[in-house]
Amino acid sequence: MKHEGTGMMKRMLWIFSLCLILYSCKEPLTEEVQAEIQVIPRPQVITVLEGTFEMTSKTSIKANRDLMVQAEQLRDYLSPASGYVLPINKRHTGGNLIELKLLDELSTLGEEGYEMTITSKKVLITAHRPKGIIWGIQTLRQLFPVEILREAAVDDVAWELPCVNILDKPRFEWRGLMIDYSRTFWNISHTKKYIDALSYYKMNRLHMHLTDDQGWRIEIEKYPALTEIASQFDTVYHEPREREGYYSREDIRELVRYAEARGVELIPEIEMPGHTTEVFAAYPELSCTGDTLSVHPFFMGPGIHNEIFCAGKKETFEFLENVLSEVSELFPSEYIHIGGDEAPKVLWKTCPHCQRVIKEYSLKDEDELQSWFIRQVEGYIQSKGKKLIGWDEITEGGLSGTATVMFWRAGMENALLSAVEQGNMVILTPTSHCYFDYTYDRISTEKVYSLESIIDKIETLNPGKILGVQANFWSHIDRTEPGMDRQIFPRLLVLAEVGWTEALNREWDHFSPRLEHHYQSLDLLDIYYTDE
C-alpha cells in the first residue's frame, strides 16, 4: 500500500508541475505557432521561443562516450537527406551544435523522459537515461522539414528547426504493437521497417507472436524439428514460400540489436497450452492424444483446435522449459509472453495424465488445471529473472498475483477490474479499439483515440495499474506487406499518442490535422496507409 501511495504521489506531483509549467508559459501557444509543432505523439509541455536553428555543413554533434550509440544514430538519421556527415566530438569545436547529455537531476523524467531546448546556436537534448535521449532525437527528427526522412540528398531544403523548449515524458511505460508471425511470416527487413516506425512514434515494445497453429517461427537448437517441420505449411495447401519460414538465432540477435539502438524492446511470445498444433506436427507426444497433426493455413482448418499441450506429462514441461531457456537467452526483455488464450479443455477432461494432476493437487476443474499449468511455467520464467505476461484467459481458474495480463476481450470488464483490484498490472489491447486486423468500418482511426474511456474508468478506480496499451495485428486475413501496412497505419499513430500523452494534454481536433501532416512522413518511411 505504501508503494502505491508513493507512486500516486509522484504522479500527482508530475501533473501538478506540468500544469504549473503550462500556466507559467510567458507566451501561450497560438494556433499559428502550434502549426509548426507537428509532433506525434504530442509532447507534454511545449514552449515556443523566438527564432530558428539551422543545421549546416558546419554543425557538429557533442556527446560523451556513454551516449556514443545515440550520437551515431542521430548522425545516421541526419546524413542521407542533408548530405552532411556531422562530426561527433566530446568538446565544442566551433559552428552550431547539437548536444546530447545525461543529467542526474532529471530523475523526475524517469527512464524515458527528456528535455530539449533549441536556440539559434544550439540544440540541447538532456535526459536521465539514454532512452530519454533516443526519444528526444525522434522529436528532433519530427521538427525538421519532413524531407529529412529521405534516403538520398535533397538540395533545396533549409534544415531549420523552430526555437523551442520541450519537456516530455510518457504517460504509460508499455506502448506496443503485436505482430503475428505465425499465420503469415514476415521477413527481417519488413520487421526492421516496423521497428523504425515504432521508434519514430516513441512506441517501445514489439510483441512478436512467434508460435501458433500456423507455424513455429523461431529456431530452437534443442528441437530442430520445430523449424524443419513446424515452420512449414503442409505441401497439400500449396502456400507461397514467403508466407512460411522462421528466424534463426542469428536473425533474432540482429533484430534485438537493431531494436535496442532505437529504443524498442522485442517481446517474444511462445503460445501455451493451446494454439500449439504446429508443435504436434513435429513432437506429437506432447499432446494428450499423441496424434501427429499437420500445419495448415488459417482458413483451411479450425481456428481453435482441441489438441493442446498435455498438462499431465512431464515431457511437456521439460520441452517448455528448454524452449523458454533458449528464448530467455536470445531476448534481453524483462517480459516473456506465454499466450494462454483460447485453450479448449475437452481433451484434458478425458486424459488420464491430466486427470491425475487434477487429483494429485486437489484442483477443482480443468480451468484450475490451466491456472496450475501457467503457475508452473511462471515459476520457471521467474527463475530466469523474467516476468510473465499472458492473454486475459489466464485470469480464469485463479490468477497468479505477479502475472501481467493482456486484456483483449472487450466484454471482459469484470475480469479486468477484478485483476487490477487484486493488484495485477494490465496491458490494454481490447478488440473494440486495438485490433488493427479489423476493418476501419469497425474500428475507425478516430475510434482508437477513444480508448481513453476505458483507461479513464480503470485509472479512476485503481490508479497506476495500467502498464500500457498495445495494438494487435493478426495476419490471417491481410497477408501482404502493403495490406498489413494499411491495416496498421494510420491507426498506430493514434495509439502512440494515447499511450504517450497525458489525457489533459490532448484532443482529437488537435490531433487530426497533425495526422494529416504525418501522411508525408509515412510516405517517406515506405509505409502504405489509408486516409479513409
Residue 501 CB, shortest distance to Zn ion, in Å, is 48
In angstroms, the CA 257 to CA 266 distance is 10
- Stretch in the footprint of Zn ion (CB under 5 A) among 65-73, 284-292, 328-336, 480-488: 284-292
Residue 312 CB, shortest distance to Zn ion, in Å, is 5
Which cell numbers in the block locate residue 246? Answer: 522462421
Q: Which residues pair with 473 in a beta bridge?
A: 179
Residue 385 CB, shortest distance to Zn ion, in Å, is 30
**Considering 147, 342, 413, 452, which one is annotated as catalytic?**
342
In angstroms, the CA 523 to CA 423 distance is 43
- The reply on whether position 230 binds Zn ion by CB under 5 A is no
517 backbone dihedrals φ, ψ, rounded to 5°: -60, -35
In angstroms, the CA 306 to CA 200 distance is 41
Residue 122: which region, alpha, beta or left (left: phi > 0; alpha: psi -120 to 50)?
Answer: beta
Residue 307 CB, shortest distance to Zn ion, in Å, is 10
Q: By the 8 A CB rule, do 341 and 305 touch?
A: no
Q: Which residues pair with 337 in a beta bridge?
A: 269, 389
- String marking each residue 333-372 x if it binds Zn ion according to CB under 5 A: ------------------x-xx------------------
Q: Closest CB to Zn ion among 360 and 509? A: 360
Q: Closest CB to Zn ion among 310 and 403? A: 310
In angstroms, the CA 38 to CA 441 distance is 27
Residue 366 CB, shortest distance to Zn ion, in Å, is 10
- Which 8-state DSSP code applies to residue 128? S
Q: Closest CB to Zn ion among 266 and 288? A: 288
Q: Pick one of 45, 98, 267, 288: the residue that binds Zn ion (CB under 5 A).
A: 288
Residue 271 CB, shortest distance to Zn ion, in Å, is 17
- Stretch in the footprint of Zn ion (CB under 5 A) among 310-318, 355-363, 390-398, 439-447: 310-318
Q: Is 476 a catalytic residue?
A: no
In angstroms, the CA 349 to CA 358 distance is 10
Q: Is 437 a catalytic residue?
A: no
Residue 310 CB, shortest distance to Zn ion, in Å, is 3
Q: Pick one of 263, 297, 312, 499: the residue that binds Zn ion (CB under 5 A).
A: 312
Closest CA to 468 of 260, 271, 255, 178: 178
- String marking each residue 244-283 x if it binds Zn ion according to CB under 5 A: ----------------------------------------
Q: Which residues, numbered 494-513, are part of the site for Zn ion (CB under 5 A)?
A: none
Residue 222 Cα to chain centre, angstroms: 28
Q: By the 8 A CB rule, do 38 and 514 touch?
A: yes
**Considering 99, 115, 212, 478, which one is annotated as catalytic?**
212
- Stretch in the footprint of Zn ion (CB under 5 A) among 233-241, 304-312, 498-506, 507-515: 304-312
H helix intervals, 309-365: 314-330, 346-350, 352-360
Q: Closest CB to Zn ion among 188 and 347? A: 347
Q: By the 8 A CB rule, do 91 and 53 touch?
A: no
CA distances (Å), origin 412, targets 393, 416, 428: 10, 6, 11
Q: Is 342 a catalytic residue?
A: yes
- String marking each residue 107-126 x if it binds Zn ion according to CB under 5 A: --------------------
Q: How many residues bind Zn ion (CB under 5 A)?
A: 6
In angstroms, the CA 290 to CA 328 distance is 28
- Stretch in the footprint of Zn ion (CB under 5 A) among 230-238, 305-313, 436-444, 491-499: 305-313
**Considering 128, 207, 209, 275, which one is annotated as catalytic?**
275
Closest CA to 141 of 227, 199, 83, 225: 199
Residues that bind Zn ion (CB under 5 A): 288, 310, 312, 351, 353-354
Catalytic residues: 212, 275, 342
